[in-house]
Chain A
């Protein structure tokens, strides 16, 4: 496994060579290549690009989903900027990024570093499967189970009562102060397994010699983590960050099942607003505009995250 470690210099040179070599006959190769890409491109166009175009088009109209629509121009977009409730819903999804992405990645890094120090762990595959389980369980099930945990007479409050913390207990999903963090912590629980599995696999690919060298140089556990493990996991961290940030931004089912965006609008999220406006309140144009903005935000953040990735790591 140590042999697969990417070395920046060895990778770059052949790329430059092929670049020069291909220059002369680029055109012929190119068109043939497109022919191979055609089936994939057709599927992509029919099922992704055309609907995306329709989404953009509908977002420029006032439409109740049934009767004739009227031209709205950018009114649906300016509404997003003006409506405090919609702006708040985007704000909430950034809070969720903290719980869905930053917390799980930080925790998973620590856990991964600790578990890999135990050189030979018995039943490590069972352990991995268990930790990955939240990702496998359907979100509706997860949300329902957590709703029971957070309920006024739920497991969490019972546990708090048992250790004499009655005063802390509350209706976690019904309290304006705790509802959003409570939803966020469900996300933390969900994503931590994914991050951990990614990181454990990543650490496996870091050359053992680096750890031995660190040991020879007298590095302790903390020093070793920052000097060897963390830099070695840059690629995995980027992947984890991309997946979890997208999961945070497009969260819908969790809120739909657990809180309906409540209490008040304390846990309303853009994706939930899209659903609600399109299917419940007959504001399809506005729903599409929110969807377009949400797509834009996700694309932008994903783009920024890829900038974190090491330049040469294109795999």
Chain B
């Protein structure tokens, strides 16, 4: 049975088969669709818009969202149910995944032959830009006109969901979706502890740093911070950078216009500031080894004075801290309006291959009209367009969040998330921030690392 020659022959055969299979595969055409032939349903773009789903016959609408946390999950479920009750001929099939799961699986789903009808697409080049470029989403301009989205949403919010048809230029061209929720990054504070230190809620970076020093001196941990999952670094850095670099520079950097560089003084100074906070012990010890959720939990337990995070944490903090939690956004200087990272939730978009684009658009409108916004607010979320009569109880964190959102979004204070910059920027920035705060990179080198990612994307465009 151990005949050497007989064993050896199949080995040759296997090699041959392997080679043939590899060659056959390699000889086939290039991966991805061949360029040039738009496969979006041009016919549907030409036909007039029907805004009444009741006339569409029996329709099954598949939607993919990332609303897995308590507040957004409840509001999406409620609105889906209400829509199906209003239009019994429509069945909504909901697929809900966490943000990172959605990010990785949506690409595959969209490029399949039967993609979902409605999807939540993340703004920026890596996601929406890539989808538009591959013609997987359809422009919703005609629906925006029919449903009045163009007038309901401030242009600042609409622009984030716009792309040129080739997916190469952001914030101009056609509208590819609208968002239901708003969000900003800011500073959560512990009211009782702030008061015991004799401080009021900081409104500028200088006041914030004074409070940090005072807390440290009194033996209280100034900021709960955990960066093992890498994304919290972007938020805390962005809050500092907004103050040190200003809005023109940050927008120029992220939206790729103007000649601002990541090595400019404002960004390097932000890096230096964050680095100093780490060395002075203003951040949780061992922050690179604990998660953002652990940091938020520690803040909620009163172990620190501040937490720098997004408004999406409010729904988690409020039940644990009650009125003890407050929220503020920082301004570059005293008297100026607040300036911070933020924007809107993922855009609700219609896929190119959807067989019922009119019903899909009617569904999206159902999510973002006055009633949709109210249901969203009732479930503890921050709606992108807060209804006029939406008033959270005074002294709660929700009231603070709403005030700050109004101040920031109505006074042109929204800055884009920094990871929008290039498709690889999330990786580059988060890794560089961990290196910066651990003292592995100087602020200058940190800026150079970011700039090199930025310039290689500019060249490849």
Contacts and interface: CB of A to CB of B under 8 A. Distances in A.
A binds B: yes
Contacts of A105: none
B431 A261 contact: yes
Interface size class of B (residues with CB under 8 A): 35 or more
Contacts of B103: 279-280
B5 A68 contact: no
Interface string B431-456: 11011001010000000000000000
A267 B170 CA distance: 34
Contacts of B427: 276, 280-281
A223 interface: no
A52 B23 CA distance: 10
B126 A68 contact: no
B302 interface: no
Nearest to A45: B21
Nearest to A265: B431
B102 to A, nearest CB: 11
B5 A19 contact: yes
B32 A174 contact: no
A57 interface: yes
B394 interface: no
B377 interface: no
Given A19-B4, A67-B133, A262 B32 contact: no
Contacts of A174: 227-228, 286-290, 438
B256 to A, nearest CB: 17
Given A54-B25, A56-B25, A68 B34 contact: yes
Contact of B22 (A11, A49, A261): A49
Interface in B158-187: 167
B438 A65 contact: no
Interface stretch (B104-112, B238-246, B384-392): B104-112
Given A18-B3, A50-B21, A151-B294, A264 B434 contact: yes
Interface string B296-338: 0000000000000000000000000000000000000000000
A22 interface: yes
A63 B34 CA distance: 12
Interface in A46-73: 49-50, 52-54, 56-58, 60-61, 63-71
Interface size class of A (residues with CB under 8 A): 35 or more
A64 B435 CA distance: 28
A34 interface: yes
Interface string B9-41: 110010001100111111010111111100000
A171 B285 contact: yes
B2 interface: yes
B110 A66 contact: yes
A175 B33 contact: no
A80 B415 CA distance: 35
Nearest to B422: A281
Interface string A173-195: 11110010000000000000000
Interface string A131-175: 000000000000000010011100000000000000000111111
B6 interface: yes
Nearest to B133: A67
Contact of A282 (B2, B9, B22, B126): B126
A173 B126 contact: no
B290 A262 contact: no
Given A49-B18, A49-B22, A19 B3 contact: yes
A173 B440 contact: no
A149 to B, nearest CB: 11
Contacts of B294: 151
A189 B130 CA distance: 42
A68 B126 CA distance: 16
B131 interface: yes
Contacts of A244: none
A249 interface: no
A19 B6 CA distance: 9
Contacts of A60: 26
Contacts of A264: 431-432, 434-435, 438, 440
A37 B424 contact: no
A23 B6 CA distance: 10
A209 B357 CA distance: 81
A175 B287 CA distance: 9
A171 B287 contact: yes
Interface centre among B5, B25, B110 (most CB of A within 10 A): B25
A286 to B, nearest CB: 10
A217 interface: no
A113 interface: no
B290 A284 contact: no
Contact of B31 (A45, A52, A63, A263): A63
A143 B432 CA distance: 24
Contacts of A175: 286, 288-289, 438
Contacts of A262: 227-228, 230, 288, 430-431, 434
Interface string B195-239: 000000000000000000000000000000001111000000000
A150 B289 contact: yes
Contacts of B9: 30
A61 B30 contact: yes
Nearest to A281: B424
A122 interface: no
Nearest to B2: A15
A41 interface: yes
A170 B30 CA distance: 50
Given A15-B4, A22-B3, A265-B431, A66 B228 contact: no
B426 interface: yes
A121 B164 CA distance: 74
Contact of A69 (B2, B32, B107, B230): B32
A260 interface: yes
B422 to A, nearest CB: 9
B448 to A, nearest CB: 14
Contacts of B25: 50, 52-54, 56-57
Closest 8 CB pairs of A and B: A171-B286, A174-B289, A53-B25, A171-B289, A174-B288, A152-B286, A66-B134, A68-B35
Given A54-B31, A67-B135, 6 more contacts: A30-B6, A34-B13, A53-B21, A71-B30, A174-B289, A281-B424
Interface of A: 11, 14-15, 18-19, 22-23, 26, 29-30, 33-34, 37, 41, 45, 49-50, 52-54, 56-58, 60-61, 63-71, 147, 150-152, 170-176, 179, 259-265, 276, 279-284, 314
18 contacts: A15-B3, A22-B3, A49-B21, A52-B21, A52-B22, A63-B31, A65-B130, A67-B135, A68-B34, A172-B289, A174-B286, A179-B289, A262-B228, A262-B230, A263-B438, A264-B438, A281-B423, A282-B126
